Structure 1
Amino acid sequence: MTIAAIGLGSMGQGAARSLLKAGHAVVGVDPSPAARAAFEQAGGTAVARAADIPQGTTAVLVLTVNAAQARASLFGPEGCAPRLAPGAILIVSATMAPADARALAADAAAQGLLYLDAPVSGGSKAANAGTMTVMASGPEAAFAAAAPVLDAVAAKVWKLGAEAGLGATMKVTHQLLAGVHIAVAAEAMALAIKAGLDPEQVYGVVTGAAGNSWMFENRMAHVLAGDETPHSAVNIFVKDLGLVEAMARDAQSPVPLAAQAMQLFIAAAAQGHGGKDDAFVIRAYQAMTGIKLPGEG
Structure 2
Amino acid sequence: MTPQDFLADQFQGHRPHLKAVAYRMLGSLSEAEDAVQEAWLRLARSDSGDIDNLGGWLTTVVGRVCLDMLRARKSRREESLEERLPDPVISRADAAPDPEQEVLLADSVGLALLVVLESLTPAERLAFVLHDMFGMPFEQIAPILDRTPVAAKKLASRARQRVRGAAPNPDPDLTTQRRVVDAFLAAARGGDFDALVSILDPEVVLRADGGLLTSGMKVIRGAAAVAGQLATFQRMATSAATHPALVNGLAGLVNTIGDRLISVMSFTISDSKIATIDILSDPERLAQLNLTRLKP
Same fold (TM over 0.5): no
Higher RCO (Cα < 8 Å, 6 or more apart): 2
TM-score, normalised with respect to structure 1: 0.31
TM-score, normalised with respect to structure 2: 0.31
